[in-house]
Each structure stands twice: as structure tokens, then as C-alpha cells.
Amino acid sequence: MGIREFPGGTPRGKGIAISMRRSPDVSPRRLSDISPQLRQLKYLVVDEAIKEDLKWSRSVEDLTGGPAGLTSIEERILRITGYYGYQPWAASYKREERPRDGPGPAEAPAGAEAGRANRSGCRCSGPQLRKLSWGLAVVLCVCASWAGSTQLAKLTFQTFDAPFTLTWFATTWNCLFFPLYYAGHVCKAADRQSVKQRYRECCRFFGDNGLTLKVFFTKAAPFGVLWTLTNYLYLHAIKKINTTDVSVLFCCNKAFVFLLSWIVLRDRFMGVRIVAAILAIAGIVMMTYADGFHSHSVIGIALVVGSASMSALYKVLFKLLLGSAKFGEAALFLSILGVFNVLFITCIPVILYFTKVEYWSSFNDIPWGNLCGFSVLLLTFNIVLNFGIAVTYPTLMSLGIVLSVPVNAVVDHYTSEIVFNGVRVIAIIIIGLGFLLLLLPEEWDVWLVKLLTRLKVRKKEETAEGGGDLGSGPRNKSRRARPSFAR
């Protein structure tokens, strides 16, 4: 770091200024070479100690006063403020170098025109509006399919008391995932591939050797078991308690995912998510207390909490063992789960039938319409939940699950004898609030601070502009009166 002599001195009594450190890419020789960055100075927050000096200085006015003002701005800044550490080029260099984790408030613009455009308000572009429109459609689809499948399962158990058989039948429909994906690939892809080529390309998700017998039993079979347990426990809970309690308690799986990710995957600790997990646990306890700790309600709540835990374990293990999957890879994986269900789970409904645990007198008595309707709704729910990210934001898709709770509550109010006492309502609100807190992004606190700072700066600018307009007349009058007063 070099030292050079500065002519004219400074108000601090110093005649020596330390030359500014230069960034690796940009090496300005004087401040007049970086006029766009200099225009950012009027957005700076000035220390209280030098506000009075800047108040009577024309340095800020010289920023927009043409080339003459830009030529003398270096002397004015260093002489009046005595501040040598400001490096506008280094700040912009660091800002460009930092990666962006998510969509947040935009950085302050370099030019005054960009600043005025930014202050005029945020306007959504065409793609953003399209994405939000698709998001609304996806939210409605997720909510309708999840609430519809839950209500249809409740209706089915009135004439067909076989939750595991219903789980097996619905999981078999997972075999349709990859054929449906390939049909979409043929309709939309520019370079179409054959089924064999597309299958081989998606099999790379499992490793260099593709889908081998060892990979099938080590990486697919455990997830098939977890998938079956999640759906069976959920359906069995519907037999014990009302659908409103089942749907709201299943929302706790988001809190379980965070806790397992924090322990197993060493994810970032976030205090707001710990609060959400505590709210979820408190909601479970209050929901148990709402019906007075009866055996059926306690067993039903335990079943749905177990279903939420299996769902959380499925998601965390998938991220740990397989990572993230593309659309074709996810479709192939879900189809493999359907194949595993047909090959290895089929024997269990047969055993339950002959042992009369899940027994029906005749196959003609099976409500095939309800079974197929439930399977179609569950398949639609999983398709939208896994592939909706292509057209909208993941947070909007998650909102569809929590919005199914009031839908089920309305249906239960007119079709069952549910009592919405104060404890149950508070438990539903607490669990829903915890679910919404878990949807906050990791950098939500940084974005909130930036937004509040932006609003504060904008308010100061509006106040300063209003005060400048009111004081411009008397100031000009006093300036014109000074020569006559001298005479």
C-alpha cells in the first residue's frame, strides 16, 4: 500500500492520503473514471460526525452537475469527509463474485435512472406472471387431489375395510410414471429418443452400471418399503379418526424432515425451524388432548404421526443415498417402486385375505370405482408434486397440502360428527403455523433486513426531496441578496 502527497491538505490537518486498494479486475486511476459508481454515493448512509460538513457542501450536487462536477469530486470527498476507505469498484466486484442462493431483493442500481426505475415499484415480468398463474393451478390441483383422495378413502372403508389392500392397489399404479413421462417427452422434446435410449440415460442415476440387481435391492427396495408403510399407516389412521385430524397431523412431516436433515445430513441450523418443530409437537399433543385420550383417537394419532415419520425418513434417505433426480430419473424411480410393489408386496394382501384380517366375501362386492378413483387421485397428487416444479415454485406446491386441511374440515363438518372445540382449533392453527414457518427460505432474515433497509432509505430520500423543494426558494433568494448587501 503506497503513500502519496495530497495537495491542499484536509480539514483534519493531514496532508497525506493512503492510496486506495484496487480490485483484481478493475484498476481506476482517479475517481472521475468511475462516474457510475460515484452516483451511488447519494444512497450511502453518512455518519453523524460528518453530516454537518456535507450539509453545506456541494459535493453531492456535483455528482449530477456534469463533467466539471465529476472532475472535482475527488478533492471534495477527501477534503470534506476525510474518508479514504470507500472503494465503489471493490464493492461491486465483491457483489458480482458472491453467488445467489435464491431470489431476493435486487441490489441497488448503479445509475440514477436505474434508481428511479427501481423506486417506481416492482413489476412482474411475463414469465413471472406465467409462473405464478401455473402456481395457482398447481396449488388447486394438489389441494383437490390430496383432499379428494383422503375423503374417498374414508368413503371406501365404509364398504371395503382393507387399508393394506387399498395401499397395494394404489401403489401398483406407480408403474405408469415412466410411460407418462416418456409420452410427454415425445410430445415436447425436439430431439426425440427411443424408449430404450431414454431408459438407459435415466438409469445413469443409479450409477455407472445402471439398474442392476444389487442396486435394485439396495437403493430401490428400502424406499418401496417406506412408501408402502407411509401410505398404509395414513389409510389405517383414517379408519380411526376423522380426516381433518389426519390431514393436519400429516403436515408435521415437514418438521420431521428438518429434524432428520439437521441430524443426518448436517443441514444448516435455523432457529425459526426449531420453533416450527416445537409448534408441530405441541400441536400433536393438543390434538391428542382434544378427544380426551380415548383409545381410538390415541391409536389414530400415533398411526398418522408414524406415517409422517416414514415420509420424512423417505425424503432424507433419498437425499442422502441418491441425491437429487431429474424428471426422467424421478419418473423411472417411482415406476421401479411400482414394480417392486407388484413383485414383492403382492403376497401380503393375499396372506391378509386368507387369514381374514382383510376379508371380503366376493370380488363383486369390491367398490372398484372408489378404488380406481382413489388411485387416480393419488397418482395425480404425486405427479403434480414431483413434476410441478417445472412450471412453478416449490413453495406454492407445498401450500396445496396445508390448504387441504380446511377443505377436509368443511367436508367433515357436514358429513361426520366432528366437534371443533377450542383445543382442536388451536392445535390445527399451531400445526399450520409451524408448516408455514418451515416454508421460509434459509436467507429469509437477510432478505427481511434488506427490505427494511431499502424502505428506510426510500423514506429518507422522500423526506429529503420534500425538504429540498420547500427550502429551494428562500435559499436562492438569500443568494441573490448577498451582493446587494455587500454594497
Nearest Cα to 211, choosing from 329, 342, 382, 387?
329
97-105: list long-range contacts, CB under 8 Å, 24+ apart. Answer: 101/441, 101/442, 101/443, 102/441, 102/442, 102/443, 104/443, 104/446, 104/447, 104/450, 105/447, 105/450, 105/451, 105/454
Nearest Cα to 217, choosing from 94, 109, 317, 344?
344
Helix (H, G, I), strand (E, B) or coil at 123: coil
Which H/E stretch holds residue 261? helix 253-264
Task: Say if residues 248 and 307 touch (Cβ distance below 8 Å).
Answer: no
Which H/E stretch holds residue 16? strand 16-18
- Supply the pTM of this predicted model: 0.68
Helix (H, G, I), strand (E, B) or coil at 3: strand
Q: How far apart are the C-alpha atoms of 20 and 16, rounded to whole Å?
A: 13
In this prediction, residue 29 carries a pLDDT of: 46
Domain coordinates in residue numbering, the chain: 130-446
Q: How far apart are the C-alpha atoms of 141 and 399, rounded to whole Å?
A: 11
Q: How far apart are the C-alpha atoms of 209 and 231, rounded to whole Å?
A: 31
In this prediction, residue 451 carries a pLDDT of: 82
In this prediction, residue 238 carries a pLDDT of: 94
User: Tens place of pLDDT for every residue, the chain, 487 residues?
Assistant: 444 444 444 444 444 333 444 444 444 445 455 555 555 555 555 555 555 554 444 444 444 444 444 445 555 555 554 444 444 433 333 333 333 333 333 333 333 333 443 444 445 567 778 778 888 888 899 999 999 999 999 999 988 999 999 999 999 999 999 999 999 888 887 788 888 999 999 998 888 888 899 999 998 999 999 999 999 999 999 998 999 999 999 999 988 998 898 888 888 777 888 888 888 888 888 888 877 767 678 899 999 999 999 999 999 999 998 888 888 899 999 999 999 999 999 999 999 999 989 888 788 888 999 999 999 999 999 999 888 877 777 777 888 888 999 999 999 988 887 888 888 889 899 988 888 888 887 777 677 788 888 888 888 777 777 665 555 555 544 444 444 444 4
Task: Say if residues 258 and 438 touch (Cβ distance below 8 Å).
Answer: yes
In this prediction, residue 53 carries a pLDDT of: 53
Instruction: Classify residue 344 by its DSSP letter.
Output: I
CA distances to 2, 255, 274, 325 from 385, in Å: 60, 18, 25, 14
Task: Say if residues 271 and 190 touch (Cβ distance below 8 Å).
Answer: no
In this prediction, residue 243 carries a pLDDT of: 92
In this prediction, residue 216 carries a pLDDT of: 93
Q: How far apart are the C-alpha atoms of 417 and 2, rounded to whole Å?
A: 83
**Phi, psi angle pair for 94, to nearest 5°:** -65, -35
Instruction: Classify residue 99 by its DSSP letter.
Output: P
Helix (H, G, I), strand (E, B) or coil at 332: helix
